Amino acid sequence: MILLIRYFRFVFSFTRHIIYTTARHATKIRLVLQVSSALLYVASMTTGTAFASARPNQRLQYTSRFTQTDRLIVPGYPMPTRRTTLSHLSRTQHATLGYSPQIQLATGVSFHSEILPTIAGPEYITLLNIDLTVPTLHLGIVQAHDRLVSNDEVLTSMANRSGALIGINGDFFEINGSGRPIGMLAMNGQLVQSPAVYAVLQQLPDKRVTISSEAFSGAVIDGSASHWLNAVNHFAEAAHGALVLATPALGAGISLPAETIAFLHPNAGSPGTFTVTALQTNATYLPPLAGLDALLGAGSTGTWLSTSLHKGDHITITEHVSPNANPLNAIGGGPILILNGKRYNDPNPPAPGETNVRNPLTAISVSQDGLHIQLAVFDGRYADPTGSPGLTHAEATRYLLEHGAYQAMLFDSGGSSEMVARWPGQHAVSIVNWPSGGVERPVANGLFLYSN
């Protein structure tokens, strides 16, 4: 068996040498690399051996296509003697074809990368480990152009304008429509958009991070008249009978399919109370809301609005999210891959057709105490020098479990998958993975870390 392992190491080392020295016959070379990687994968699973780099004395040097400073590995950092796993989590062996030096970005924040053997070929992974017990670190969410409805924004722009140290792309979004994220969004303790049926990553006021599915409930009360409030800023749901609260966070006007609108002015010093300023029926356009909120409804819900609310009425609106009622920050995504240290079959994946398809993936893992997290981006679609095929959800789940995840979920993936980091001594972030489209995709929002 030892001779067999040495043979596999030799095959992979020889193949990698060919790839790094010539670009000719790329298709044939990729095929050989995939075959040798598959053999190494099988051998490692059979023997339980955790392989280090195929050439342990050779540093992996990848230079990003985006800028001259986007170097994934900073020269001069020594190779680690063991792979790095999520702090305070269980350490289990898994096979790697190579790994980068660990780079300390700030106290409690480190970056490294790995090349994982899969049956489809070597997979390049970028990883950020974060210790939220460090008092100078805090998470934050940035919305594209600081509004829900927009043409979206690239991750480096969001990171640099907010002064972030690191970041990954966030929620799925209406890519060919409003640009709005599809899931929950809360920022600095304020609910920006109510949860849908999809997974939510939340940070609680005590800094702990948790992954769950959240539900929304609310009510609109005008004297003796009342109606359930079904959503906040999910304006498309109004056409299907829901009563929706629209807020200035939308940031733009939207077209409507003949709905009733009740315009509301918030009452100063009395949170949750409003004065009705105007009513419109059969409205086909909601203008940008500046200093006003609005209730939207169609069908019987629109009829309730037009008959129960009147200009000058003082109304009360309640909003409640459960089971975590008051998150500091929350961002949607999905599916949930791991709950309570075990695989989880999420019944509401945002993109169910992608479950068994190899894709670039963006993931987050959380420790049992909720104070240690790991961000991971798995490259794919053969966009990087390694020729990464991407992972299925099951493969990503296995990898994250082996890294000790107690909870884990995905964010928007495919061409959106991206990780950025600000190297020591730099004033702007660099892209540290290889986005599969060759350039950054504008996205709806991102999850970022800041160091004060």
pLDDT value at residue 379: 98
Q: Domain check: are 180 and 235 in the same one? A: no
Asked if residue 377 belongs to a domain, the reply is yes
- Using alpha carbons, select from 236, 141, 143, 238 the residue that is nearest to residue 181: 143
Q: Per residue in 366-423, pLDDT tens?
A: 999 999 999 999 999 999 999 999 999 999 999 999 999 999 999 999 999 999 999 9
Q: Which domain holds residue 302?
A: 217-322
Do 224 and 207 have their domain in common?
no
Give the dihedral sign, CA 35/36/37/40: positive
Closest alpha carbon to 363 in 389, 329, 390, 396: 396
Looking at the fold, whether 350 and 447 belong to one and the same domain comes out as: yes
330 and 209 part of one domain: yes
Instruction: Tell me which of 237 and 58 has the higher pLDDT.
Output: 237
Instruction: Choose the weakest-confidence range: 81-85, 313-317, 435-439.
Output: 81-85
Q: What is the CATH number of the domain that holds 229?
A: 2.60.120
Mean pLDDT (whole number) for 260-274: 97
d(CA 156, CA 168) in angstroms, rounded, equals: 10
CB atoms within 10 A of CB 355: 14
Same domain for 241 and 163, yes or no, is no
> What rounded mean pLDDT belongs to the chain?
85
Structure tokens at 131: 């210790």
Residue 55 lies in a domain: no
Same domain for 177 and 242?
Answer: no
| CB 381, CB 399: distance < 8 Å | no
- 206 and 173, same structural domain? yes
Is residue 73 one of the residues assigned to a domain? Answer: no
Query: Does residue 365 form part of some domain?
Result: yes
Taking 70 as the threshold, does the pLDDT of residue 263 lie above it? yes
Q: pLDDT (tens digit, 9 = 90+) per residue, 77-103?
A: 232 233 333 333 333 334 556 777 899
State the total domains in the chain.
3
Are residue 207 and residue 329 in the same domain, yes or no?
yes
Cα–Cα distance, 51 to 95 (Å, whole number): 5
Amino acid present at 328: L
pLDDT band at 165 (very low <50, low <70, confident <90, very high): very high
Asked whether residue 391 is domain-assigned, the answer is yes
In a domain? residue 390: yes
Asked if the structure places residue 61 within a domain, the reply is no
Amino acid symbol at 86: L
How many Cβ atoms are within 10 Å of 391's Cβ, its own excluded? 26
Q: Are residues 253 and 201 in the same domain?
A: no
Angle in degrees, 0-180, between the axes of helices 2-21 and 26-47, rounded to the nearest 10: 150
- Give bridge partners of residue 398 from the DSSP assignment: none
Do 287 and 330 lie in one domain? The reply is no
Nearest-angstrom CA–CA distance, 239 and 256: 8
In this predicted model, what pLDDT tens digit does every residue of 195-231 receive, in sequence order? 999 999 999 999 999 999 999 999 999 999 999 999 9
Looking at the fold, whether 396 and 412 belong to one and the same domain comes out as yes
* pLDDT score for 101: 85
Residue-wise pLDDT for 270-297, tens only, equals 999 999 999 999 999 999 999 999 999 9
pLDDT tens-place string over residues 129-156 = 999 999 999 999 999 999 999 999 999 9
Residues 209 and 230 in one domain: no
Residues 114 and 93 sit within 8 Å (Cβ to Cβ): no
